[in-house]
A and B are shown apart, each in its own frame.
Chain A
Amino acid sequence: MAATPARTPAEQALAARYPAERTSLPGTADVIAIRDAAFGGIEKTGLPHRRVEDWKYTDLRARLKTFPPAAGPADVARVLIARPAMEGDKARRLVVANGRYRPELSDLENLEDGLAVFSLAKALEAGDAAVLAALKLDEATAANTAVALNTAFMTDGLVITVADGAVVERPVEIVHIAEGEPAASTAVRHLVTVGRGAKLTLIETVESLDTVAHHSNIMTVIEAGEEADVDHIRLQLEPDEAVSMTTLVARIGRQATFDTFNAALGAGLARAQVFAEFVGRDAEAGFRGITMLSGRRHADTTLSLIHGAENCRSRELYKAVIDDEARSAFAGRIAVPAFAQKTDARMMTASLLLSEEAEAYAKPELEIFADDVQCGHGATCGAINEDLLFYLLSRGIAKAEAESMLILAFLGEAIDEIQDQAVHDALIHRVEAWLKTRASARKAGEPAA
Chain B
Amino acid sequence: MLEIKNLHAKIGDREILKGLDLTVRPGEVHAIMGPNGAGKSTLSYILAGKDDYEVTEGEVLLNGESILDLEPNERSVAGLFLAFQYPIEIPGVATMTFLKAALNAHRKARGEAELTTPEFMKRVKTVAEKLNISSEMLKRPVNVGFSGGEKKRAEIMQMALLQPSICILDETDSGLDIDALKVVAEGVNALRSPDRAFVVITHYQRLLDHIVPDIVHVLSDGRIVRTGGPELALDLEKNGYAAYVADAAA
Say whether chain A's binding surface is mostly helix, strand, loop, or mixed. Answer: helix
Our pick among B72, B97, B105 for the contact of A390 (Cβ within 8 Å) is B72
Closest Cβ of chain B to A388, distance in Å, is 5
* Interface of chain A residues 381 through 395 with chain B (CB within 8 A): 387-388, 390-395
**B93 on the A face (CB < 8 A):** yes
**A406 on the B face (CB < 8 A):** yes
Our pick among B48, B73, B84 for the contact of A398 (Cβ within 8 Å) is B73
* Docked complex Cα distance between A408 and B97 (Å): 12
Our pick among B75, B92, B106 for the contact of A410 (Cβ within 8 Å) is B92
Contact B92 A413 (CB under 8 A): yes
Neighbouring B residues of A395 by C-beta, 8 Å: 73, 76, 98, 101-102, 105, 158, 162
**B222 on the A face (CB < 8 A):** no
**A405 on the B face (CB < 8 A):** yes
Neighbouring B residues of A413 by C-beta, 8 Å: 91-92
* Interface of chain A residues 360 through 391 with chain B (CB within 8 A): 387-388, 390-391
Neighbouring A residues of B72 by C-beta, 8 Å: 390, 393-394
Contact A405 B71 (CB under 8 A): no
**B87 on the A face (CB < 8 A):** yes
Neighbouring B residues of A393 by C-beta, 8 Å: 49, 71-73, 76
**A126 on the B face (CB < 8 A):** no
Given the known A-B contacts A394-B48, A395-B98, are A408 and B76 also in contact in the complex, defined by CB atoms under 8 Å? no
**A409 on the B face (CB < 8 A):** yes
Instruction: Write the B69-108 contact mask toward A (1 if CB under 8 angstroms, else 0).
Output: 0011101110001101001101111000110011001100
Interface size class of A (residues with CB under 8 A): 20 to 34
The 8 closest A-B pairs by CB, nearest first: A409-B92, A396-B76, A393-B72, A395-B102, A396-B105, A391-B88, A393-B73, A412-B92
Interface residues of B (CB under 8 A from A): 48-50, 71-73, 75-77, 81-82, 84, 87-88, 90-93, 97-98, 101-102, 105-106, 109, 141-142, 158, 162
Between A and B, 22 residue pairs with Cβ closer than 8 Å are A390-B48, A390-B72, A392-B93, A393-B71, A393-B73, A394-B48, A394-B49, A394-B72, A395-B76, A395-B101, A396-B105, A396-B109, A397-B105, A398-B105, A399-B73, A402-B73, A405-B101, A406-B92, A406-B93, A408-B92, A408-B93, A409-B91
